[in-house]
Amino acid sequence: MKLIIEDHFLSEVAKGNPIGKSPYPIEILKIFKKRVFQIQQAKNSADLRQIKSLHFEKLKGKEYEGKYSIRLNIAYRIIFRIDENKSDKIEIICIEEINNHYS
């Protein structure tokens, strides 16, 4: 599955090149890198849905229309959308942010 990380800081973290002071705890960044690997290894979003520990879910609310999340831990989650390339039948995960679910 193709992955696009729209947040510059998170994109650099995923590449192993963190820049500047992190707005997230170190443990969260380690889990984020693990989740990026899991997304890259998945053939499609159905593969991610099968991993129960990710708590893959469609988000509710007007500000989250068309967005999904997977958990990093009990408090943090990755928010993303799924775009499809109709001609190649490829799903593209576009990571938008890491969000503290309870703040």
Looking up residue 57, the CATH number of its domain turns out to be: 3.30.2310.20
Above 70 in pLDDT, residue 89? no
Per the structure, the complete domain to which residue 52 belongs is given by 2-100
| Percent of the chain whose predicted confidence (pLDDT) is above 70 | 93
Judge whether 15 and 7 are in contact, CB under 8 Å.
no
Tens digits of residue pLDDT in 28-70:
999 999 999 999 999 889 999 999 999 999 999 999 999 999 9
- The answer to whether 56 and 70 have CB atoms below 8 angstroms apart is yes
Average pLDDT over residues 10-36: 92
Q: For residue 64, how many other CB atoms are within 10 A of its CB?
A: 14
Count up the domains in the chain and report the number. 1
Give the pair of three-digit tokens for residue 33.
């890198």
